[in-house]
Amino acid sequence: MIQAFIIKNIIKIVMKQLLKQFKFDKIQKYVEEPNELDKKVEKLEKTVKRLQKLSHPVADFVCTKCDTKAKRIKRQINKIKERF
């Protein structure tokens, strides 16, 4: 029981030293923790979602108001479906 405990601690110490020696600790930190690009992407995603919410009712209003535009879009979709 004591031997198993000692072996586990030795393995932990060796792993820490290997991580420091080959700079894997920095790589692991870079992979696991959010960096500045991750933060920028999250901010941009929030902005896109907010803009979609703002523009979606306008797009629905345009489609329901203008029947000819909706019909043209449906015809184009049907042509594309016929090709495949």
pLDDT one-digit tens code per residue, 25-53: 788 788 888 889 889 999 999 998 888 87
Locate 36 and state its tokens.
């500045």
- Given a cut of 50, is residue 4 above it in pLDDT? yes
Q: Based on the fold, state whether residues 44 and 25 are members of the same structural domain.
A: no
Q: How confident is the model at residue 66 (pLDDT cuts 50, 70, 90)?
A: low
Residues 46 and 29 in one domain: no
Q: What is the model's pTM?
A: 0.40
- Output phi, psi for 22, to 5 deg: -100, 10
The count of structural domains within the chain is 2
CB 43 within 8 A of CB 37: no
**Same domain for 63 and 24:** no
Whole-angstrom CA distances from 77 to 46, 48, 63, 68, 81 are 30, 26, 15, 14, 6
% residues pLDDT > 90 (the chain):
19
Host domain of residue 13:
1-33
Same domain, 51 and 84: yes
The answer on 41 and 14 residing in a single domain is no
The verdict on 61 and 76 lying in the same domain is yes
Q: What tokens appear for 63 in the block?
A: 């489609």
